[in-house]
Amino acid sequence: MGAMAELVQAGGAAIEVRGLAKSYGGVHAVRGIDLTVERGRIFALLGPNGAGKTTTVEILEGYRSRDGGTVKVLGYDPARQRQRLKSQIGIVLQSSGMDRYLTVSETVAMYAGFYPRPRPVDEVIELVGLEAKRDTRVLKLSGGQQRRLDVAIALAGNPDLLFLDEPTTGFDPSARHEAWEVIRNLAALGKTVLLTTHYMDEAQYLADRVAVISNGLIVAEGSPATIGNRERARARIRYRLTDGVAPPADLTAPPGPDGLTELVPDDLTTALLGHGTVRISAAKVVNTSTYYVAAMASFAVISACYTNIAISVSFQRDTGVLKRMNGTPLPSAIFLGARMVHALFVAIVLVVITAAFGRVLYSADIPTGVTLLRFLVMLVVGAASFCALGFAIASVIPNADASPAIVNASILPLLFLSGIFIPLGSNAPAWIVWIARIFPVRHFAEGMQAGFLGTPFHWTDVLVVAAWGLGGLLFSVRFFSWEPRT
């Protein structure tokens, strides 16, 4: 090769890989990867056991042949120009073969002798921190010290580029940190380092750039900071169905080149909840999961206020608790008001839990800003009104045993007819639409949905709910009984 060509090779990236592929029989170890490692940088190839790291690195080192793709290492093709390449690279293999009876300095000196421009032996020993073991035989070194000697051997020829294959696997934490310092020293010398590792923290601490390899493919690449933030990103789920099994109708995304199909977030909620989307108006379609977060929050408030108050007041009345209370100086309005405040508190806790689950599991929106204020107005007005309606129905419930049946019979049909569980379509019968408009459940649910689904908020919904609450209160004042009714 002429001087000009050598000059061209001196510039550019230290490693350029395009479309690299390698199979062992039926095992596709590397499935077409691209990599660029700039000179003077530490590049980490991060991945689990069997991901294809060693295969990739050993192809770059010239130990293994490739099936496809192009590879340039310091400008050379390792498959064809391995001899030229060898004098410029240093290699730390996963398993190291060393003469156990040589001392540290003898070992380094022996390897240095194989290279045209070696680095002085003592300098190398100092770089890896083995000065104290200079004259110790290899067989007396600890595992961590042997690994350092591996690095020293790789450095002996004063290479521009170092390959470190899992340099700290099996180390205890302090040995790992010492090894990291050694590797950082290499970077300070201006060496290019390609290391493979299982450990995210190792890649983060050492590398300028990280490529994540999984199943023979690069699945992410970037600086450690961007890769490191992946724990805050959404998880990716990929699946392969066994032969002859058809995917559910909703999960029909085509598989990728590796035969795996990615489950996108919408598919995930689809898979968990079984339905895709819900049309809540002519113009608005939302995820079923998000829709049900709002529906569940509405249901929770109605249960905590209307259902709970009506049933527990009936029981307290039958067991004489109300009568005893009524016989004390505590004003009745305070007692009933405290019941309402308690129910409101339970309702708020239930809404917060529902919203938190919705957020974490299904990415449902949480009300903020003005939407949150309106949402809170609807929540408080709704809770108070349903409490008042709970007292009202308790006024006509004959006895405690009958209360669950009467309360459920009064509210469940309304929940269904108001489109809480099953949204009302545009072709819903007029009488259902009429019921939804007249009774408070639909109006309350729409106010709650405005917070979660971003649908328009109408103050008329608040007014209708408040009017029902006021009606319930007046009814209770007139007919509420403190003593058993039958």
Q: What's the burial of 321, exposed, middle or buried (CB within 10 Å: 0-12/13-18/19+)?
A: middle
Of 46-54, 265-273, 367-375, 388-396, the window that binds ligand ATP (rule: CB under 6 A) is 46-54
- For ligand ATP, the binding residue among 24, 101, 114, 357 (CB under 6 A) is 24
Coil, helix or strand for 423?
coil
Coil, helix or strand for 2?
coil
Q: What is the secondary structure of 229-260 as a DSSP string?
A: GGGGSPP-EEE-PPTTPPPPTT--PPP-TTS-
- For ligand ATP, the binding residue among 42, 54, 336, 453 (CB under 6 A) is 54
Smaller CB distance to ligand ATP: residue 170 or 398? 170
Residue 159 Cβ vs ligand ATP, minimum distance, rounded to whole Å: 21
- For ligand ATP, the binding residue among 50, 113, 320, 327 (CB under 6 A) is 50
| Closest of 225, 189, 183 to residue 204, by C-alpha | 225
Binding mask 263-292 for ligand ATP (x = CB under 6 A): ------------------------------
Using CB under 6 A, count the residues that bind ligand ATP: 11
Q: Is residue 358 near ligand ATP by the rule CB under 6 A?
A: no
Q: Is residue 29 near ligand ATP by the rule CB under 6 A?
A: yes
Residue 59 Cβ vs ligand ATP, minimum distance, rounded to whole Å: 9
d(CA 48, CA 58): 17
In DSSP terms, 193 is beta-bridged to 42, 162
Residue 50 Cβ vs ligand ATP, minimum distance, rounded to whole Å: 4
Looking at this protein, which amino acid is placed at residue 5? A
- For ligand ATP, the binding residue among 1, 5, 7, 27 (CB under 6 A) is 27
Smaller CB distance to ligand ATP: residue 51 or 415? 51
Residue 196 Cβ vs ligand ATP, minimum distance, rounded to whole Å: 6
- For ligand ATP, the binding residue among 33, 51, 153, 212 (CB under 6 A) is 51
Q: Is residue 55 near ligand ATP by the rule CB under 6 A?
A: yes
Q: Using CA atoms of 481, 483, 484, 486 in order, give the dihedral in degrees to the nearest 10.
A: -70
d(CA 436, CA 445): 10
In angstroms, the Cα distances linking 201 to 56, 145, 225, 356, 479 are 21, 21, 11, 30, 70
Coil, helix or strand for 18?
strand
Q: Is residue 47 near ligand ATP by the rule CB under 6 A?
A: yes
Of 11-19, 22-30, 99-107, 109-117, the window that binds ligand ATP (rule: CB under 6 A) is 22-30
Residue 242 Cβ vs ligand ATP, minimum distance, rounded to whole Å: 20
| Closest of 215, 255, 210 to residue 230, by C-alpha | 210
Smaller CB distance to ligand ATP: residue 112 or 212? 212
Query: Which residues are CB-contacts of 450 (< 8 A; sequence separation ≥ 6)?
Result: 371, 374, 375, 378, 456, 457, 458
Of 48-56, 129-137, 361-369, 478-486, the window that binds ligand ATP (rule: CB under 6 A) is 48-56
Smaller CB distance to ligand ATP: residue 193 or 297? 193
d(CA 342, CA 73): 72
d(CA 235, CA 69): 30
Of 49-57, 218-226, 368-376, 405-413, the window that binds ligand ATP (rule: CB under 6 A) is 49-57
Give contact residues for ligand ATP (rule: CB under 6 A): 24, 27, 29, 47, 49-55
